[in-house]
Amino acid sequence: MADTAIAAGKIPPGPKITPLDLAAELLKGDPQIVRDPYAYFSGLHEKYGDLVYSDFGVGSFYITDNLALIRKIFVSEPRNYAKADAYLEAAHFLGNGILNSEGDFWQAQRAMVQPAFTKSRLNAFMATMLETGRHAAQHLQGQADVSGLAMHIALENICRFLFGSDFAANEKTIRAAVEFGNNFISRRIQMPFKLPIYFPSLSNLRFFWHRFELDQILYRIIDERLASPQRENRDLLGMLLAAEKESQGGKVRKEQVRDEIITLLIAGHETTGFTLAMALWLLAADAGLQQRLRDEADAATAGGQVDFEKCPLSEAVVNETLRLYPAAWIIGRRLKADEVFEGYLLKKGAQLQTGIIALHRNPRYWSEPDRFKPERFLGENAEPSVKQAFMPFGAGPRKCIGSVFAMLEMQTAIYTLLQKYRLSRVAGYEPKIEYLFTARLKEALPVVFEPIA
Ligand code: HEM
């Protein structure tokens, strides 16, 4: 019966692209999917519907914004799908940490890391987030690059969470490695024909050099910690080492610990740094909204901690930023078996991609989709009416492990900065976003910080 359904499944409509068409487009420069992914995805769905098929000249791809299919892939039947091939490339940098791993191995590793993200652990970390924000807010005056500022805040927070130290001495090396790694991996994902990664080309060698430098730092920290076990359990590294010893009969798989830590370090600061920078830039255009946030900040931080029950506006501002500028602008899976969805054949081995950036602006789910309107997330008629139309952190069991951490740190940073400064935009500067493995700002983005008397 199932075989009959599969045999009867139709191929969804989509563009016909030959390898020559693809080569010609690549010769012209970046393809549209990375130049303007919103126009790319919405254009495809407008022309072909909510399930599009093409081999794009290089392999079988489905592009979907069908919410029933999205729910099936991510929430109700996630085990039937593997991570998309892009994650195989990311694994050259991140190894086999919980972002890339699959099946029972992933489940065991996620269970090991998850306890670091409980409500009580995050509450205990709140004072550090406030300190990071206040520290970053100390010496701003006149124009400052919000991209650099936000990356610094995000990196400091994640380093303190992972290792219990602020890590300033290593910031330059980490940021250079992450920037190069993100670019390098993203180019490999886009290239239909590529040299093997171990071919000694200049860019491959530079990639391995950056990875080596980052590894040196991480292995040194792991070794130091193993030599002073009394510090165990106070931060994520300590918890992970203790869990490792328990599950491995007293031993520690150092390479696996490196893979988990580098995954959290990279997934945990690039995305947040980009989102926070965009939020500050959006806020810089609205003095009234800044004042409402300042009032909310004063009430919420009155006790020296942050009472996040009293923070709906900052939550809405961050959500609205994530809607308009999702750092994870595309999320994909690979089909493990043939199946039929609404009469269409989905082929084993093909990749299934969702353009989150277009879903988040789809007029079916959002009023005035291109407008920055944080109030849409507030009140009885809050948008979207359908849950899966908003998934900046993914969905289902593989939803971002750091989503609450990220929200809290961005809200805290916005509060601490606005309590000290009025922000305004600098004429002539617009954000230049590059759509790599995750989205990031290509250039500095200056904003004026005027101290509040
Ligand atoms: C604005 C900030 C962030 C965004 C937009 C974001 C987005 C995402 C998305 C969309 C996924 C799911 C990917 C998929 O299903 O293929 C994900 C997974 C993940 N994120 Fe985040 N993330 C953010 C911040 C963080 C932070 C702060 C951390 C760590 C502290 C983190 C760690 C991870 C990890 C480890 C995974 C893999 C989870 C798993 O597969 O079990 N992320 N993130």
Measured by CA distance, the residue closest to atom 26 of ligand 1 is 268
343 & 373 share domain: no
Contacts of 399 (CB under 8 A, 6+ apart): 74, 393
Where does a domain end: 315, 344, 359?
359
**Atom of ligand 1 minimally distant from the CA of 333:** 16
275 & 341 share domain: no
38 & 145 share domain: no
Measured by CA distance, the residue closest to atom 13 of ligand 1 is 394
- Do 129 and 412 meet the contact criterion of CB atoms below 8 Å apart? yes
Contacts of 292 (CB under 8 A, 6+ apart): 313
Assign residue 437 the CATH number of its domain.
1.10.630.10
Q: Does the CB atom of residue 275 touch ligand 1 within 6 A?
A: yes
Helix (H) or strand (E) holding 411: helix 403-418
- Do 402 and 267 meet the contact criterion of CB atoms below 8 Å apart? yes
Q: Does the CB atom of residue 394 touch ligand 1 within 6 A?
A: yes
Q: Does the CB atom of residue 87 touch ligand 1 within 6 A?
A: no
The packing angle between helices 146-163 and 254-267, to 10°, is 150
98, 400, 438, best to mutate for ligand 1 pocket (most atoms within 8 Å of CB): 400
The span from the CA of 40 to the CA of 54, in Å, is 14
Q: How many domains does the chain have?
A: 2
Q: Does the CB atom of residue 441 touch ligand 1 within 6 A?
A: no
Ligand 1 centroid from CA 245, angstroms: 26
DSSP, residue by residue, 272-324: HHHHHHHHHHHHTT-HHHHHHHHHHHHHHTTTSS--GGG-HHHHHHHHHHHHH
The span from the CA of 139 to the CA of 349, in Å, is 53
276 & 380 share domain: yes
Q: Does the CB atom of residue 438 touch ligand 1 within 6 A?
A: no
Ligand 1 centroid from CA 317, angstroms: 19
SS3 call for 144 = strand
Q: Does the CB atom of residue 301 touch ligand 1 within 6 A?
A: no
Q: Does the CB atom of residue 393 touch ligand 1 within 6 A?
A: yes
Ligand 1 centroid from CA 333, angstroms: 15
SS3 call for 129 = helix
Ligand 1 centroid from CA 273, angstroms: 13
Measured by CA distance, the residue closest to atom 6 of ligand 1 is 393
What range defines the domain where residue 312 resides? 95-328+360-451
13 & 111 share domain: no
Q: Does the CB atom of residue 402 touch ligand 1 within 6 A?
A: yes
* Residue-level pLDDT at 1: 46
Q: What's the length of the chain?
A: 453
30 & 65 share domain: yes
- Do 138 and 132 meet the contact criterion of CB atoms below 8 Å apart? no
Helices and strands, counts by H and E, the chain: 18, 12
Ligand 1 centroid from CA 338, angstroms: 28
The span from the CA of 134 to the CA of 140, in Å, is 11
**Atom of ligand 1 minimally distant from the CA of 406:** 27
Q: How far is CA 360 from CA 37, 38, 42, 76, 108, in A?
A: 12, 9, 11, 21, 32
First to last CA, the chain: 74
Q: Does the CB atom of residue 99 touch ligand 1 within 6 A?
A: yes
- Beta strands, E only, 110-258: 142-145
220 & 140 share domain: yes
Q: Does the CB atom of residue 327 touch ligand 1 within 6 A?
A: yes
The two structure tokens encoding residue 132: 């990071």
The span from the CA of 55 to the CA of 59, in Å, is 5
The span from the CA of 70 to the CA of 330, in Å, is 12
Q: How far is CA 180 from CA 176, 207, 208, 214, 255, in A?
A: 6, 7, 10, 12, 22
Q: Does the CB atom of residue 271 touch ligand 1 within 6 A?
A: yes
Distance of CA 34 to the CA centre of its chain: 16
Q: How many CB atoms lie within 10 A of CB 280?
A: 25
* Residue-level pLDDT at 329: 97
> Does 311 appear as a known binding residue?
no
In sequence order, the β-bridge partners of residue 433 are 441
169 & 57 share domain: no
* Residue-level pLDDT at 133: 93
Q: How far is CA 322 from CA 162, 278, 284, 431, 441, in A?
A: 24, 9, 16, 15, 14
Ligand 1 centroid from CA 7, angstroms: 37
Q: How far is CA 207 from CA 92, 214, 266, 308, in A?
A: 10, 11, 15, 41
88 & 100 share domain: no
148 & 121 share domain: yes
Assign residue 20 the CATH number of its domain.
3.30.43.20
Where does a domain end: 318, 341, 359?
359
108 & 155 share domain: yes
Q: Does the CB atom of residue 405 touch ligand 1 within 6 A?
A: yes
The two structure tokens encoding residue 388: 């899966």
Dihedral pair phi/psi, residue 439, rounded to 5°: -75, 145
Q: Please give the radius of gyration of the chain, using alpha carbons only, rounded to the nearest integer.
A: 22
Ligand 1 centroid from CA 266, angstroms: 10
* Residue-level pLDDT at 28: 82
Measured by CA distance, the residue closest to atom 21 of ligand 1 is 400
β-bridge pairing 433-435 and 439-441: antiparallel
pLDDT tens-place values along the chain, 453 residues long: 467 778 778 999 999 888 788 778 778 878 888 899 999 999 999 999 999 999 877 789 999 999 999 999 999 999 999 999 889 999 999 999 999 999 999 999 999 999 999 988 998 899 999 999 999 999 898 999 999 999 999 999 999 999 887 677 888 898 899 889 888 998 888 777 788 888 889 999 999 999 999 999 999 999 999 988 666 567 999 999 999 999 999 899 999 999 999 999 999 899 999 999 999 999 999 999 999 999 999 998 887 778 888 899 999 999 999 999 999 999 999 999 999 999 999 999 999 999 999 999 999 999 999 999 999 999 999 999 998 999 999 999 999 999 999 999 999 999 999 999 999 999 999 999 999 989 999 999 999 999 997
89 & 117 share domain: no
